[in-house]
Structure 1
Amino acid sequence: MAEKIIRIGTRDSELALWQAHTVEKKLNDLGYKTEIIAVKSQGDIILDKPLYELGITGIFTKTLDIAMINGQVDIAVHSMKDVPTALPIGIVQAAVLERANTLDILVHKGNLDFLNGEGTIATGSLRRQAQWLNKYPAHKVVDLRGNVNTRMQKLKDSEWSGAVFAAAGLERINLKPSNYINLDWMIPAPAQGAMVIVAMANDDFCRDAVSELNDIETEVCTHIERQFLKTLEGGCTAPIGALAVFEEDEIIFDGVLFSLDGKEKIEVNKRVPLQDWKKLGFFSAKEILDNGGISLMENIRKDLKK
């Protein structure tokens, strides 16, 4: 094996570093030499603006993309749900790791009475906001930004009733408290709970090394979810949830598009033979667009511009 050291690029939040170290250990176990290089992203630096105002697509991945293109790092590890559906020219998806918990959870203050009355819930995600307001129209949703640790601290210091988190992120760094409930009615973000490794298209050594970490089932499911997202979005951020799961020789897919206030909801539920996976996300999204999704997406674009 060549003696090349694989330089792993990552953001410098605790969760991002956990992900990078996980990949490092897997590569070391295969006999590869590695080095971790941490970089700060704009998404971590600018905390006073909602994500969609920053032109959300790629805000957490851009810094690492540039570092890769400039040759400062060889591969980058991301939470897959943060990665734009179109990668920069020259960068390719090299592996998707086995998926963790896909659920969203509500971390609360120990008293759930507010679920039957009025409450304030914090989240920086349009998808979570819309689904929460759809189920609890009397509640107020406030913006919450920052890495997982920052958000947990902000919740602690606030008067809010609770905040919504991805279970996987909290579990990975042992931050999941006892006062939480699983939101099994909330459809997760496309690729939630999955980690992706990207590499330069022309770097055969790193692509070959990393390909050994790929989990085919997770790759297929996240492909379906991201294809659904890409077909719906057309470059605009919107409240979109998607989840594909294997069940024996079939794939079950749930996809949903909401209005920002959660009042409108268009969903699709599919169960298809395994071999029909390649265009499942595309056809599911087309179905939503044909059922009122086109005008709903137009309204979302207008609302976000206000």
Structure 2
Amino acid sequence: MEKTIRIGTRDSELALWQANKVKEGLEQLDCRTEIVPVKSDGDIILDKPLYELGITGIFTKTLDIAMIQGRIDVAVHSMKDVPTALPKGIVQAAVLPRADAADVLVHKGDLSFLAKTGTIATGSLRRKAQWLHRYPEHFVENLRGNVNTRMRKLQDSEWQGAIFAAAGLERISPFTGTEINPDHCTALDWMIPAPAQGAMVAVALENDAYSKECLSKLNHRETEVCTHIERQFLRVLEGGCTAPIGAKAEIKDNQIAFTGVLLSPDGKKRHIIHREVTPDDYLRFGEACALEILESGGKETMNLIRLHETKGPDSKVSS
């Protein structure tokens, strides 16, 4: 008898939307499913940026444990939150079609601050570093919580704006009724997104043949290839620490165009790469791009970042 696939997810509104998207896809394949919400430390600890918590995969760790303990069969994540090395016994089973991967500045209708001193907010070290690289006279405040919480904090603050993922805004608005004035949203086309931003991934136990087979039918090959490159770039650069790294791969005219970036936490140092490859040669492409970054000065920047982490988040990074 076919089993009911228990889909584990964080209980935030966005995570539940994502889990329900997978649930709908599986049920269209006549697979029985149920949603099992699980709260993670990343949802509970909201007074510190993620990079200060010192934990990789903070949003996925609780679900990994629930899966290994047999409480759920499948976990659905924003792929950018998933560590590049999955726990032993857990495998990537499906990557869904990617939504808009861009970052968006939500502001209060006046962008004149961009030409002078201003303050924006984000909990992402990658966004902070890229913003400070472009606007070195600005200040960046920490901002955590779900989309509604962050929107409310922005409106109640004296900040000029806050940075959000376009995919998150698109997914959450119809689900919660959140209305965002499009005139107060500016796409940051110069900001390189997080590796796998905008993509969702479903993971399952390696020995769970039924769940893996069902999920494999939801897999989107183009998104799988592009996120593989981006996450490989991240893995080779990262070396176990939290670093400001962006990566974006796109398939156009039978070519994969890739852009990757590594920055110092203060944004003063930036290493960027643009390369193309044919789809047949994608397997080690992310690694090759990361090694090129490291060999052209990125290794020294990574050493600075590790020193920054060792001394603590309030230490200064010399550039």
Superposition TM-score, scaled by structure 2 size: 0.94
CA RMSD in angstroms comes to 0.9
For residues 140 and 231 of structure 2, the distance between their equivalents in structure 1, rounded to whole angstroms, comes to 26
Letter in 2 for 1:291: S
Range moving further from structure 2, 120-129 or 143-152: 143-152
Q: Is residue 215 from structure 1 mapped to residue 220 from structure 2 by the alignment?
A: yes
Q: Give how far 1:240 is off.
A: 0.3
Superposed counterparts of 1:197-212, under 5 Å:
197-212=202-217
Q: Is residue 57 from structure 1 mapped to residue 62 from structure 2 by the alignment?
A: no
Q: Is residue 249 from structure 1 mapped to residue 254 from structure 2 by the alignment?
A: yes
Stretches of structure 2 that go unaligned for 5 or more consecutive residues are 312-319
Q: Is residue 275 from structure 1 mapped to residue 274 from structure 2 by the alignment?
A: no
Paired position in structure 1 for 2:9:
10
For residues 276 and 91 of structure 1, the distance between their equivalents in structure 2, rounded to whole angstroms, comes to 26
Q: Give how far 1:220 is off.
A: 0.2
Letter in 1 for 2:186: I
For residues 86 and 265 of structure 1, the distance between their equivalents in structure 2, rounded to whole angstroms, comes to 26
Which one of the candidate residues 228, 233, 236 is aligned to 1:228?
233
Paired position in structure 1 for 2:303:
298
For residues 262 and 188 of structure 2, the distance between their equivalents in structure 1, rounded to whole angstroms, comes to 17
Say which SS state the counterpart of residue 93 (structure 1) adopts. strand
Q: Give how far 1:275 is off.
A: 1.0
Letter in 2 for 1:79: S
Say which SS state the counterpart of residue 254 (structure 1) adopts. strand
Letter in 2 for 1:63: T
Paired position in structure 2 for 1:153:
152
Paired position in structure 2 for 1:195:
200
Range moving further from structure 2, 80-89 or 141-150: 141-150
Say which SS state the counterpart of residue 295 (structure 2) adopts. helix
Q: Give how far 1:211 is off.
A: 0.4
Say which SS state the counterpart of residue 257 (structure 1) adopts. strand
Letter in 1 for 2:106: V
Paired position in structure 2 for 1:72:
71
Superposed counterparts of 1:35-54, under 5 Å:
35-54=34-53
For residues 156 and 21 of structure 1, the distance between their equivalents in structure 2, rounded to whole angstroms, comes to 30
Stretches of structure 1 that go unaligned for 5 or more consecutive residues are none
Range moving further from structure 2, 159-168 or 139-148: 139-148
Q: Give how far 1:301 is off.
A: 1.1
For residues 85 and 266 of structure 2, the distance between their equivalents in structure 1, rounded to whole angstroms, comes to 27
For residues 132 and 150 of structure 2, the distance between their equivalents in structure 1, rounded to whole angstroms, comes to 20
Superposition TM-score, scaled by structure 1 size: 0.98
| Residues 35-59 of structure 1 deviation map (CA, whole Å, 9 limit, x = unaligned) | 0000110000011122112123110
Say which SS state the counterpart of residue 23 (structure 1) adopts. helix
| Residues 212-235 of structure 1 deviation map (CA, whole Å, 9 limit, x = unaligned) | 000000000000000000000011
Q: Percent identity?
A: 65
Which one of the candidate residues 276, 284, 293 is aligned to 1:288?
293
Number of paired residues?
305
For residues 151 and 55 of structure 2, the distance between their equivalents in structure 1, rounded to whole angstroms, comes to 22
Paired position in structure 2 for 1:131:
130
Letter in 1 for 2:277: V
Question: 2:48, 2:142 within 8 Å by CA — same for their partners in 1?
Answer: no
For residues 9 and 21 of structure 1, the distance between their equivalents in structure 2, rounded to whole angstroms, comes to 10
For residues 309 and 50 of structure 2, the distance between their equivalents in structure 1, rounded to whole angstroms, comes to 11
Say which SS state the counterpart of residue 149 (structure 1) adopts. helix
Q: Is residue 177 from structure 1 mapped to residue 181 from structure 2 by the alignment?
A: yes
For residues 291 and 119 of structure 2, the distance between their equivalents in structure 1, rounded to whole angstroms, comes to 35
For residues 305 and 121 of structure 1, the distance between their equivalents in structure 2, rounded to whole angstroms, comes to 26
Q: Give how far 1:145 is off.
A: 1.0
Paired position in structure 2 for 1:258:
263
Q: Give how far 1:146 is off.
A: 1.4
